[in-house]
Amino acid sequence: MIEKSVWEMTLKNLDKACDFLGLDDGIRSYLREPRRVLEVSIPVIMDNGSVKIFKGYRVQHNTNRGPAKGGIRFSPEVNMDEIKALAMIMTWKCAVVDIPYGGAKGGVACDPQKLSVGELERLTRRYVFEILPLIGPEKDIPAPDVGTNQQIMAWIMDTYSMAQGYSVPGIVTGKPISIGGSLGREGATALGCIYTLHDAVKVLGLNEERFEIVIQGFGNVGWNAARFLYDSGMNIVALSDINGGIYNQNGINPYEVFDFCKESGTVYGFPGTESISNKELFGIDCDILIPAAIENQITEKNAKDIKAKIVAEAANAPTTPEADQILNDRGIFIIPDLLCNAGGVTVSYFEWVQNVQAIFWNEDEVNQKLRAIMDKAFRKVYEFSKQNNLDMRLAANINAVSKVALATEMRGIYP
Amino acid sequence: MNEETNIYEEEKLRLQNIANITNLDAGFLEYLQYPKRILAVSVPVIMDSGELRIFDGFRVQYNINRGPAKGGIRFHSSVSLDKLKALAMVMTWKCAVTNIPFGGAKGGVICDPKSLSRKELEKLTRRYTFELIPIIGPEKDIPAPDIGTNPEVMAWIMDTYSMDQGYSVPGVVTGKPVVLGGTLGREGATARGCIYITISLLETLNLIKGEMDFAVQGFGNVGFNAARYVSESGFRLVALSDSKGGIYNPKGLNVLKVKEHKDKTGSVINFKDANTITNDELFEVKCDVFIPAAIESQITARRALKMKCKVISEAANIPTTIGADNILRDRGLVVIPDILTNAGGVVVSYFEWVQDAQAYFWTEDDVNQRLRKIMKRSFEDVYMKSKEMKCNLRTAAYAIAVTRVIEATKTRGIFP
């Protein structure tokens, strides 16, 4: 899923931020290493009666600003390096948007598509049981990620609650609404990305009526981003998924694409559009490009073809460092992933707050509170980048690292 | 010594061998090949210089189906995750073969305790303990001393855990000072158990004829005490060693005088009433019983070819590589396996934990008698099994241990 380069890139970004902040070697190595790494063995009785052993992980990178927070990934590619990198990214993300969390990530090396519902449930419950000593609403709060969903979050909540002897909805976020999930959670990442886009358009002084938008990826984030932007009157000129892209200069209706996709399994070949390759997608003339797929999509090969004024990183680490340099040199404004896709974890935070207070908000309240957080975070990062003449990514990284370093310094090193 | 030996891979091979012999199915074999939990933690310490340093710490809980996890904590620069996995696995077998209600664990921090000040060592220990708190406890996982740690370090662990709980919990760790709930007879327990087992074997095989010569590798807690008990039991100690080299005198060595010499000079070598020899030469000394009481992987294939003893009594953990084991078997040497020979330490740790739980303490005689009883019973179990299976003592001991762990696993079932 994630290549080694993402781990290295994460460390490089950390180093740059540390250099700027003048942090000493001690605190640097403290921030590089996860606080705790737990590896567990998960025995599951398969439907055919045999016992199979899966490897599970939970990494807590840093908890100085609050409980650890991060998704749980079920995928055959899950490995320790990947989970460590993703946990560190979560630490910075929570710090950038200033929510009181540290970073974590977990996962099980398995192929959920090949497991029966019963096997998946037993796997989930046993995994949760093994990591039980480390998790809890005040300690570490998992969430969905690649290969996991609401149903799995419900099993996690149930297993933890059974062990405690009472219901603990705040142990996990991304739950179904019926057991304490939050309204607005599903579209949160896309909405957060759009709020930062609004902020970027404002500070850049762009004033077109109808921006032309290209979105890579049509999963949860890509689809919701397309929908919200279309609803607010924007012109979606191109969309794509793993099979390829579709293009129409006059605009695409994402709802129709969604229905088409349901039947055909792909956006590719949607009637009334020109079929394009994923490579061509990045070269399309547009105002805003939203990578909403996987890592390492914008590379040195396609960065010079990009015609957008703004790149909004709804995906995690979509831009390689080389491409980043090219885009910066070309004056393209990047809303970095740490900031751009932090809407997901922010509404996860809201879900946890609602669980803790046991009073629930309506969807408008959730979205308004999300907007307030995204706007403030954007403003802080943007102002810092202007004052110090830095690109947005470095500014976001410095913002995050300085908050975590300060919290560490104020608390001191125990004992 | 033998850096290419990965003891975790070797222990997995030993387990696979037992699985074949006992017809263990593939799922359960896989289950036993991996630890239940591995926790790796980052241990930040402010050094005396004011500088912040980060150490890597680990705790491996191998299997807890027979009871709480139990195993030592090692502070040494050679600590690695694979080593700890192997040692935690071996702890599981050790507790099973002696039938005490514990599973296996092991922990450690990559550090050189000799280069740390006392204050740094205390800070390191307390922070490491703090990071482990969610998974340790008197009902969950009970640490103990190992290489580089001692009763004082155990006292810090007990104090850190107790402060976190808000009340004293002596049972969270064993090998504590007696004043904090440690047991009498803990210090010499591993060596004492080793001698009980060795004598049981010599008597059973009718090997005691005239003067019996012993050689001991290692002069730490286990090596020194083993050497002492050898002499006290009326045997002749002809060779000794530590990490700097060995000493040899076919007429016998006075252990207490050697100890005085080591305390003065830092090593056993150059002791006046003996010839100084190399560690390699130590393995070639002609004797009846050889006791490895140092670190892992010391009896290698190369050394095994040249050993001139009749019996090897493994007071160290995993001292013999698989290659060496096969050679020793073919040469007809009797090896009493580590999981039986050195189990005295964990058995008396178990007694310490029992006394902490009941808050009622035994005399040293009580402790030693109970230890002797368990060691004797365990030896008989293993010996009978080896007759029944027509195999060597190691295979028999592993077969008993693995069978007991699997029986517990199957009886409990796979959760959920």
CA distance B45 to chain A (A): 7
Q: Based on the number of CB atoms within 10 Å of its own CB, is A285 exposed (0-12), middle (13-18) or buried (19 or more)?
A: exposed
B106 is catalytic: yes
Q: Does A387 touch chain B (CB under 8 A)?
A: no
Residue with tokens 């158990």: B193
Residue with tokens 């607010």: A232
* Annotated catalytic residue, options B85, B94, B106, B385: B106
Q: Which residue of B has its CA nearest to A62?
A: B42
The residue among B32, B38, B58, B92 with the most chain A CBs within 10 A of its CB, best to mutate, is B38
Read off the pLDDT of residues B289-346 as tens digits, 9 standing for 90 and up. Answer: 999 999 999 999 999 999 999 999 999 999 999 999 999 999 999 999 999 999 999 9
CA distance B44 to chain A (A): 7
3-state secondary structure chain B: CCCCCCHHHHHHHHHHHHHHHCCCCHHHHHHHHCCCEEEEEEEEEECCCCCEEEEEEEEEEEECCCCCEEEEEEEECCCCHHHHHHHHHHHHHHHHHCCCCCEEEEEEEECCHHHCCHHHHHHHHHHHHHHHCCCCECCCEEEEECCCCCHHHHHHHHHHHHHHHCCCCHHHCCCCCHHHCCCCCCCCHHHHHHHHHHHHHHHHCCCCCCCCEEEEECCCHHHHHHHHHHHHCCCEEEEEEECCEEEECCCCCCHHHHHHHHHHHCCCCCCCCCEEECHHHHCCCECCEEEECCCCCCECHHHHCCCECCEEECCCCCCECHHHHHHHHHCCCEEECHHHHCCHHHHHHHHHHHHHHHCCCCCHHHHHHHHHHHHHHHHHHHHHHHHHHCCCHHHHHHHHHHHHHHHHHHHHCCCC
Domain ranges for chain B, please list them: 22-175, 189-341
Q: Which residue of A has its CA nearest to B131?
A: A36
Check B45 against A30: CB less than 8 A apart: no
Domains B22-175 and B189-341 in one fold: yes
How confident is the model over B389-403, as a mean pLDDT?
97
Phi and psi angles of residue B40, each rounded to the nearest 5 degrees, phi first: -110, 130
Contacts of residue A41 in chain B, CB cutoff 8 Å?
A: 31, 34-37
Read off the pLDDT of residues A24-37 as tens digits, 9 standing for 90 and up. Answer: 999 999 999 999 99
Contacts of residue A40 in chain B, CB cutoff 8 Å?
A: 36-38
Distance from C-alpha of B121 to C-alpha of B119, rounded to nearest angstrom: 5
Residue with tokens 């740059």: A16
Read off the pLDDT of residues A28-63 as tens digits, 9 standing for 90 and up. Answer: 999 999 999 999 999 999 999 999 999 999 999 999
pLDDT(A155) > 90: yes
Distance from C-alpha of A177 to C-alpha of A175, rounded to nearest angstrom: 6
Read off the pLDDT of residues A328-364 as tens digits, 9 standing for 90 and up. Answer: 999 999 999 999 999 999 999 999 999 999 999 999 9
pLDDT band at A408 (very low <50, low <70, confident <90, very high): very high
Asked if B43 and B56 touch (Cβ cutoff 8 Å), the reply is: yes
- Residue A356: count of CB within 10 angstroms of its CB: 12
At A233, list the tokens: 């009157």
Burial A241-256 (b: 16+ CB within 10 A, else e): beebbbbbeeebebee
User: Nearest Cβ partner of A41 from B27, B28, B34?
Assistant: B34
User: Nearest Cβ partner of A26 from B27, B39, B51?
Assistant: B51
Q: Which CATH number fits domain B189-341: 3.30.56.10, 3.40.605.10, 3.20.20.60, 3.40.50.720?
A: 3.40.50.720
Check B41 against A37: CB less than 8 A apart: yes
Q: Packing angle between helix B393-412 and helix B364-389, nearest 10 degrees?
A: 100
Nearest CA to A30 among A332, A405, A410?
A405
Contacts of residue B160 in chain A, CB cutoff 8 Å?
A: 415
> Is this complex scored with an ipTM above 0.90?
no
- Superfamily of segment(s) A31-179: Leucine Dehydrogenase, chain A, domain 1 (3.40.50.10860)
What is the model's pLDDT at position B272?
A: 94
pLDDT band at B2 (very low <50, low <70, confident <90, very high): very low
Q: Regarding the domain delimited by A188-340, which CATH topology (the fold level of the hierarchy) does it fall under?
A: Rossmann fold (3.40.50)
Contacts of residue A35 in chain B, CB cutoff 8 Å?
A: 41-42, 131
At A78, list the tokens: 């899950």
Check B127 against A413: CB less than 8 A apart: yes
How confident is the model over A14-25, as a mean pLDDT?
96
What is the model's pLDDT at position A1?
A: 42
What is the model's pLDDT at position A330?
A: 97
CA distance B32 to chain A (A): 10
Domain B22-175 -> CATH class: alpha beta
CA distance B84 to chain A (A): 14
Nearest CA to B189 among B217, B151, B156?
B151
At B350, list the tokens: 């178990």
Contacts of residue A33 in chain B, CB cutoff 8 Å?
A: 42, 54, 56
What is the model's pLDDT at position A4?
A: 59
The residue among B25, B32, B34 with the most chain A CBs within 10 A of its CB, best to mutate, is B34
Read off the pLDDT of residues A84-97 as tens digits, 9 standing for 90 and up. Answer: 999 999 999 999 99
How confident is the model over A54-82, as a mean pLDDT?
95
